[in-house]
Structure 1
């Protein structure tokens, strides 16, 4: 039986984004093809308001989807489409920027912890100029299950199949077929989630430690796995893991800041559209 191997292990780098929000960029920027169809993964987490209070004032996106998973805290979304939403602890914001969205994400608290993840998911060329859309999911709308082994799973996107249980997530997407889970493995447990051959798998351990194919992953380590074979996760002391999987698009990726297209010419067009005030039309 072929098992998935760990191809690379990395830790994020401290940076800031928006109007000065402190965060850790786990991947993104250089060589995004390694993580295709995912473009970026950021972790934010602080109980110091000075590190998050300035938020993310109005800014544009084109060509991909953004997914924000809030572990703790409250963030208000507004966009040019007239959408207004409040992302609360345990909730998810899923925005398909496609042709273009101008939005803001601003904290709705002046003290306490603000903690979560934002990831960027690419769109295939055929969908990059589609109509944009936005959806907030409250915690109650996102399936949360406990498997027979005691493993707890928040099933945000795709479908979790393990231990004779199948649970569909809140979001389903064609083409990239994303699977996005928050997994909590108690000490002494193992999990064999079913993942189709050809799907890229990325694991981020944000608490405890995890064993994958005989390799130990410590807290704050991110692993990129091979694209074929069975997958087994285990832990002796307990772990909490952000699980990302998706089908690579295998198209050229050209990124300039908040725009991700397939060619430099399309990036230049996005910049002209923004300059000329027709970005969202």
Structure 2
């Protein structure tokens, strides 16, 4: 390894919701929580049997979900009265915080469904704050162009651009790097200690080191990056964030700081007091 790549990991097959087939990339045996990132799933199939059952209504408390679509459409409804449809190139951000019940269901009966869901932890001071939700369609996502390649900035700041997803008090980045030619894309370090890259199409070179489709790499936090395609077309999700540095207690859709808080979340859900 060249000093940029700290480790390499591959996701594992998994199912969630009502049986949706997916690949769990973060929060699996070889790669646990990467503070502040709790989980990263990729769902990708053109077989409706793999996704049609969707994610019927279920609870969350204590963290944020960020859904980003490459292809297909997913509909969202929640207990706060929010609803929307996220399509290719768009994102939906949901701060579950003290509690929300939501469902995510395919808005299609056939064709390719491809996207990601990222879970981002909240600091203890925010875990019981009010729930929030926002829809960010494709046209609201800034595109930073390099030749025939580009960065789509979903969250955070890069080169004077701001992604539509911003979270008060937390500084994190989510960017989609798409390569249609061999143009190199520079990404300068912002000093965020957790820095990850996942290649979802083709293969790329990060400071000369090849990373293949399906690989997630942990990257040095302080190095500037030069990223180019090793085989086009290529696509890569880049994540960076500042660790919260607090204990993590997780039970399924609840992420708190202590086991006692988890048990309270379960009781609140069972007694209809999770939301509101």
TM-score (norm 1): 0.92
Deviations 1:90-131 (A, max 9, x none): 211100000001000011111111110001011111100000
Q: Relative to 1, partners in 2 of residues 1:204 and 1:266: Cα closer, same or farther, differing over 3 Å?
A: same
Per-residue deviation, 1:29: 4.8
**1:251 is matched with which residue?**
246
Q: Following the alignment from structure 1 to structure 2, what is the Cα–Cα distance between the partners of residues 169 and 271?
A: 34
The 2-side partners of 1:136 and 1:167 are apart by: 19
* 192 and 68 in structure 1: CA distance in 2 versus 1, 3 angstrom threshold: same
* Equivalence for 1:142: 141
What is the CA deviation profile of residues 124-180 of structure 1, one whole-angstrom value per residue up to 9, with x for unaligned ones?
A: 111000000011111111112313x4431111111122xxxx321112224431111
- Match for residue 48 of structure 1? 47
Q: Secondary structure at the match of 2:175?
A: strand
Shift of 1:31: 8.3
The corresponding residue for 1:230 is 224
Larger mean Cα displacement after TM superposition, 171-180 or 99-108: 171-180
Assess if the C-alpha contact under 8 Å between 1:70 and 1:88 holds in 2.
yes
List per-residue Cα deviations over 1:238-257 (Å, max 9, x = no partner). Answer: 32111111111111111110
Label 1:240 to 1:31 Cα distance change in 2 as closer, same or farther (>3 A): closer
Q: Is the 1:4–1:230 contact (alpha carbons within 8 Å) kept by the matching residues of 2?
A: no
Larger mean Cα displacement after TM superposition, 252-261 or 225-234: 225-234
Give, in whole Å, the separation in 1 of the partners of 2:10 and 2:148: 28
Asked if the contact 2:192–2:240 (Cα under 8 Å) also holds between the matched residues in 1, the reply is no
Match of 1:153?
151
Structure 1 residue ranges without an equivalent (≥5): none
Aligned CA distance change for structure 1 residues 33 and 124 (closer, same or farther; 3 Å): farther
Question: What is the number of residues matched between the two proteins?
Answer: 274
User: SS in structure 1 opposite 2:231?
Assistant: coil
In the alignment, structure 2 segments of 5+ residues that lack a partner are: none
- Please state whether the residue corresponding to 1:268 is helix, strand or coil: helix
Once residues 253 and 208 of structure 1 are traced to their aligned partners in structure 2, the CA distance between those partners, rounded to angstroms, is: 34
The alpha-carbon deviation at position 32 of structure 1 amounts to: 7.0
1:279 aligns with 2:274: yes
